[in-house]
């Protein structure tokens, strides 16, 4: 599969996966000058959600709430309503929650943003987690590999008017060729060459993900656990641009 033609260069999203607010805050202080976007995941949301969201409200790069919502449509719509705030650029849901659930999320984001007179966050759908290997799919009773499942779920997400999907780097080129460059891809499981893969089973380097046409690259531990997170983020940004 040939890589998609790039419309804009990909953006780096740093996952603020830290046990304590002070640790997450210090990462924001150190990395905001690089113009990166931040990601508030479950650990931060449940641990110190209000404080970190207040801190990120005026960060120029904005932030992504990695809430991975998956529930009945009404509950997901109601949850999205509570998450729409200034500075929130992206909120995500699981595509496996189904079309009606994704539509409820998109609708709730638009309605709440209109009420608040702010820009609506984009809704992204998680296809298959990058920690899931092909054999795990079989165990879950899903036939086909991660690529086939990602395409099927992405079609549902696009029809539900999601702005894009979260997928593995290896699925980006095919998704772009099916759905066009406008339908965005956000890729976690990024590991610079030689770095530990941790629990990520479909990992790729920053360069490979960028060259495949990914719009956003999510990086956590290779930056947050580095001796110098600023230097680690700078070197990933440089690799994304080569
Ligand atoms: O530390 P690491 O770079 O593996 O962090 C990746 C981040 O992206 C984590 O916060 C994880 O929750 C998130 N994520 C993921 N796979 C997805 C969606 C989100 O790894 N499919």
Looking at every residue in the chain, the average pLDDT score rounds to 94
pLDDT in tens, 11-59: 999 999 999 999 999 999 999 999 999 999 999 999 999 999 999 998 9
Rounded to the nearest whole angstrom, what is the distance from the C-alpha of residue 202 to the centroid of ligand 1?
11
Ligand 1 atom closest to Cα of residue 190: 3
Domain that holds residue 79: 11-240
3, part of any domain: no
The pTM (predicted TM-score) of the whole model is: 0.93
What per-residue confidence (pLDDT) applies to 4? Answer: 44
pLDDT in tens, 164-220: 999 999 999 999 999 999 999 999 999 998 888 999 888 999 999 999 999 999 999
- Number of domains into which the chain is organized: 1
Contact criterion met (CB below 8 Å) for 86 and 49? no
Residue 1 in this model has a pLDDT that exceeds 60: no
Pocket test for ligand 1, best of 15, 153, 195 (most atoms within 8 A of CB): 15
Measured between alpha carbons, how far is 20 from 25 in angstroms, rounded to an integer? 9
Query: Whose alpha carbon is nearest atom 21 of ligand 1?
Result: 129
CATH number for 117? 3.20.20.70
Query: Whose alpha carbon is nearest atom 20 of ligand 1?
Result: 188
Dump strand ranges (E) for 5-147: 11-15, 37-40, 63-69, 88-94, 122-126
What is the pLDDT averaged over residues 159-163? 98
Residues with CB under 6 A from ligand 1: 15, 17, 41, 66, 126, 129-130, 166, 188-189, 198, 200, 218-221
Paired with 91 in beta bridges are 65, 123
Angle at which helices 42-56 and 21-31 cross, to 10°: 50
2, part of any domain: no
218, part of any domain: yes
Measured between alpha carbons, how far is 135 from 22 in angstroms, rounded to an integer? 39
């Amino acid at each position: 599969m040939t890589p998609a033609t790039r419309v804009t260069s990909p953006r780096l999203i740093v996952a603020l996966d830290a046990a304590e607010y002070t640790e997450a805050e210090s990462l924001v202080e150190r990395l905001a000058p690089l113009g990166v976007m931040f990601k508030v995941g479950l650990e931060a949301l449940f641990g110190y959600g209000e404080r970190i969201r207040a801190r990120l409200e005026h960060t120029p790069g904005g932030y992504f709430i990695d809430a991975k919502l998956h529930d009945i449509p009404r509950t997901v719509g109601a949850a999205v309503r509570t998450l729409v705030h200034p500075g929130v650029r992206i909120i995500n849901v699981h595509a496996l929650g189904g079309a009606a659930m994704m539509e409820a999320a998109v609708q709730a984001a638009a309605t709440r943003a209109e009420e608040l007179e702010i820009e609506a966050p984009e809704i992204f759908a998680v296809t298959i987690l990058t920690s899931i290997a092909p054999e795990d799919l079989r165990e879950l009773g899903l036939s086909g590999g991660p690529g086939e499942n990602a395409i099927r779920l992405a079609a549902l997400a696009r029809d539900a008017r999601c702005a894009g999907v979260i997928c593995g780097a290896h699925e980006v080129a095919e998704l772009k060729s099916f759905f066009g460059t406008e339908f965005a891809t956000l890729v976690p499981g990024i590991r610079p060459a030689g770095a530990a893969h941790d629990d990520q089973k479909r990992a790729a380097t920053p360069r490979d993900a960028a060259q495949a046409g990914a719009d956003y690259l999510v990086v956590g531990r290779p930056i947050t656990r580095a001796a110098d997170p600023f230097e680690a983020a700078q070197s990933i940004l440089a690799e994304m641009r080569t």
